[in-house]
Amino acid sequence: MQSTARIRERERHILAVAVELLSEVGFDRLTFDAMAARAGVSKTTLYRRWPGKHELVIEAVRRRVGFSFTVPDQGSFRAEVLEALRLVSDWLRRDAAMLRTLVDAGRRDADLREATERQLARPLDGMWEEVIDRAQGRGELRSDVDLSWLSELAQGVLTNRILVADVPVTDAFVERLADEVIVPTFARRV
């Protein structure tokens, strides 16, 4: 009988292989055969743990993210926006190939799109909601603006720049986005 630590290590290895292959060949061409061969395990080992490719890929993506989308209280809306933008841009940069594949496959696969939304989009939205809640509590936000745009605006700009245009996001870019777009749009003028 294998030890729990060995089983966990093998599972981590399989999930890492799934992310590698997902980034290399895309979701549609990703197979249990290829994952088993690269991971050095049998297909039976994969099916014992995951009923299908969707479940394995979603768990691999969830574990790959490996952190919660959380911005600690920074004391000001601007500081929290900067922290959130850096967190999102670092993640997008690190996982760009995998995310492009998931977005593309999600257009054709409603189950994958829903699982991706549940594992990634909702936690991201939750992070922005916390930033908004704290800023509202400090009286920093405008009352005449739809705050639900904040998440879509911030993530849309970063996603376009990193995943579509394949242009680096520098600290200077993040500060410009915060200072020239997000803060003036949502923060109260002092």
pLDDT at residue 99 in the model: 84
DSSP, res 82 = H
125-170 confidence digits (pLDDT tens): 889 999 999 999 999 999 999 998 999 999 999 999 998 898 999 9
More confident residue, 172 or 69: 172
The confidence band for 66, taking pLDDT boundaries of 50, 70 and 90, is low
Q: Does residue 24 register a pLDDT over 70?
A: yes
Q: Does residue 60 register a pLDDT over 80?
A: yes
Domains of the chain plus CATH, in order, are 4-63 (1.10.10.60), 68-186 (1.10.357.10)
CA distances from 19 to 36, 76, 109, 161, 181 (A): 13, 36, 18, 22, 34
CA 17 to chain centre: 18
Nearest C-alpha neighbor of 62 from the set 15, 127, 6, 23: 15
Q: Round the average pLDDT of the chain to a whole number and report it.
A: 90
Average pLDDT rounded to a whole number, residues 105-114 = 87
The confidence band for 68, taking pLDDT boundaries of 50, 70 and 90, is confident
Residues with Cβ < 8 Å from 110, sequence gap 6 or more?
A: none
